[in-house]
């Protein structure tokens, strides 16, 4: 018998197969890690957008004031919080510290509008400086979020949450509950005492 100095063909094929298996497993592991990292980054981005929305609404609802409005040179008999559930729209007037474009009015009072388009699954926040509009007011976008699958607004008054602003007593708070890309969110806002 002679001493063998190298590897046999079977040993070489086995080594190649084990190396290939190790490469496939390592590639799968790296791919899973990158997918998880991407999902986490997307989730953090969504959470940041929700925080932006809640912050914008908190500032605008915190500056809530009762101010009569006009459109087409006719007075609107607007309430402090004008909730139109058939249109999924909430209108109000608030102090706004953010400047508008040139020619949009010098005062700080702004009309605010939160609306949800159920068909397009889009939630938008608008503002307008035209409190006494000769025609229909011109709205500027403040926030626009797609992927909002469900929205519910509730108003706190008389110690409970209601589907409409309470007519006989002041509204103490607003709660916005919505589903964004399958995840549920709730933003609750305390309102200033305006009466």
Q: Could you tell me which residues come within 8 angstroms of residue 87 by beta carbon, excluding any fewer than 6 positions away? A: 115
Can you give the three-state secondary structure of 56-116, one letter per residue? HHHHHHHCEECCCEEECCEEECCCCCEEEHHHCEEEEEEECCCCCCCCCCCCCEEEEEEEE
CA distance 148 to 193: 31
- The overall average pLDDT reported for the chain is 87
SS3 state of residue 33: helix
Q: Could you tell me which residues come within 8 angstroms of residue 45 by beta carbon, excluding any fewer than 6 positions away? A: none
Tens digit of each residue's pLDDT (9 = 90 or more) over 72-103: 888 888 888 999 999 999 999 998 766 555 55
Tens digit of each residue's pLDDT (9 = 90 or more) over 138-151: 999 999 999 999 99
Closest Cα to residue 64, out of 92, 84, 91?
A: 92
CB-based contact 64:82 (threshold 8 Å): no
Task: Provide the whole-model pTM.
Answer: 0.72
Rounded percentage of the chain residues whose pLDDT exceeds 90? 50
Q: Residue 141 carries which DSSP code?
A: E
Res. 169 pLDDT band, cuts 50 70 90: confident
How far does CA 188 lie from the centroid of its chain? 13
């Amino acid at each position: 018998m002679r001493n063998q100095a190298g590897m046999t063909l079977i040993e070489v094929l086995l080594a190649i197969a084990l190396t290939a298996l190790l490469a496939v497993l390592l590639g799968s592991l790296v791919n899973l890690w990158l997918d998880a990292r991407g999902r986490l980054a997307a989730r953090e981005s969504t959470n940041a957008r929700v925080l932006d929305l809640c912050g914008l609404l908190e500032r605008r609802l915190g500056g809530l004031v009762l101010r009569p409005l006009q459109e087409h040179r006719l007075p609107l008999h607007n309430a402090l919080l004008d909730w139109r559930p058939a249109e999924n729209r909430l209108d109000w007037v608030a102090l706004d510290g953010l400047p508008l474009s040139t020619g949009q009015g010098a005062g700080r009072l702004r009309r605010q509008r939160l609306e949800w388009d159920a068909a397009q699954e889009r939630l938008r926040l608008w503002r307008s400086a035209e409190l006494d509009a000769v025609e229909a007011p011109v709205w500027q976008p403040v926030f626009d979020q797609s992927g909002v699958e469900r929205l519910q607004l509730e108003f706190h008054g008389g110690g409970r949450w209601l589907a409409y602003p309470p007519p006989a007593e002041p509204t103490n708070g607003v709660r916005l509950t919505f589903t964004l890309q399958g995840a549920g969110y709730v933003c609750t806002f305390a309102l200033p005492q305006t009466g």
